A and B are shown apart, each in its own frame.
Chain A
Amino acid sequence: NAGVMQNPRHLVRRRGQEARLRCSPMKGHSHVYWYRQLPEEGLKFMVYLQKENIIDESGMPKERFSAEFPKEGPSILRIQQVVRGDSAAYFCASSPGTGSFGYTFGSGTRLTVV
């Protein structure tokens, strides 16, 4: 039973390009969360999704960022027209439900914008 799978592990993009980060939750987990860890800062919540639904996107920047969790396939975090400030580690977590369940995190995608 693989854990939360994120790919790619490392992603380099030039300014203005698009970045697509993928997250496959643990088997049996239907809740996915994305967090961002900027250099020298703590992890910040971005978005919480269930299959085909965005539950809470209050942590997402209003522009250029979007997320989806389709009925089939992984969750995708998409960043359009990347800028240097988007360079960070992006972590995905999954859980079987909310509240009393713990979270399992993936190893992250480290995005570098050059």
Chain B
Amino acid sequence: KQEVTQIPAALSVPEGENLVLNCSFTDSAIYNLQWFRQDPGKGLTSLLLIQSSQREQTSGRLNASLDKSSGRSTLYIAASQPGDSATYLCAVSLSADRGSTLGRLYFGRGTQLTVWP
């Protein structure tokens, strides 16, 4: 069974700081990994998708890395802004040889980020 853990559970930083959010997963036979953002009372917004064969993906101030063998991913946010305040979720899908439907995502509980001015 895939377990996804995110550390820290909460993070509060001043505006302008560079920060790193961590995600670990117990079964390294993943198909892909996706980072989402969730605002209070809202749905999920996809930020970055990393295929299992990739090492990292970048979008603007966001960079996500993947080390499949060690079961880890990090989300790096550069020059944080108050508008980045949200909960960040990491989710993985397992490869087909694990007997899991490719469509199924396993989520961590998220890191609640607060960026204050």
Given B31, B36, B42, B103, which contacts A107 in the complex, CB threshold below 8 Å?
B42
A98 touches B46 (CB 8 A): no
Task: Find the A residue at minimum CB distance from B44.
Answer: A105
* Number of A-B pairs, beta carbon distance below 8 Å: 67
- Identify whether the interface residues of A are mostly helix, strand, loop, or mixed: strand
Q: Given the known A-B contacts A99-B93, A100-B51, are A42 and B103 also in contact in the complex, defined by CB atoms under 8 Å?
A: no
Give the chain B neighbours of A8 by CB distance below 8 A: none
B110 touches A55 (CB 8 A): no
B101 touches A55 (CB 8 A): yes
A88 to B103, CA, bound (A): 22
A98 touches B49 (CB 8 A): no
B32 touches A100 (CB 8 A): yes
B89: interface (CB < 8 Å): yes
CB of A93, distance to nearest CB on chain B (Å):
8
Task: Find the B residue at minimum CB distance from A3.
Answer: B43
B105: interface (CB < 8 Å): yes
Task: Find the A residue at minimum CB distance from B108.
Answer: A42
A44 to B45, CA, bound (A): 17
B43 touches A45 (CB 8 A): no
Give the chain B neighbours of A43 by CB distance below 8 A: 44, 89, 91, 105, 107
Give the chain B neighbours of A102 by CB distance below 8 A: 34, 46, 49
B103 touches A98 (CB 8 A): yes
B103 touches A55 (CB 8 A): yes
A82 to B4, CA, bound (A): 29
CB of B115, distance to nearest CB on chain A (Å):
22
Report B1-31 residues with CB < 8 Å from chain A CB.
Answer: 4, 31
If A41-B109, A105-B44 are given as contacts, then 17 extra A-B residue pairs at C-beta distance below 8 Å, sorted by A number, are A31-B103, A33-B104, A33-B105, A42-B4, A43-B44, A48-B103, A55-B101, A58-B101, A59-B104, A95-B103, A99-B32, A100-B32, A104-B46, A105-B43, A106-B43, A107-B43, A108-B42
Top 8 nearest A-B pairs (CB, nearest first) are: A107-B43, A98-B102, A105-B44, A56-B101, A42-B109, A43-B107, A102-B49, A48-B103
Residues of A in contact with B (beta carbons under 8 Å apart): 4, 6, 31, 33, 35, 41-45, 48, 55-56, 58-59, 91, 93, 95, 98-100, 102-108, 110
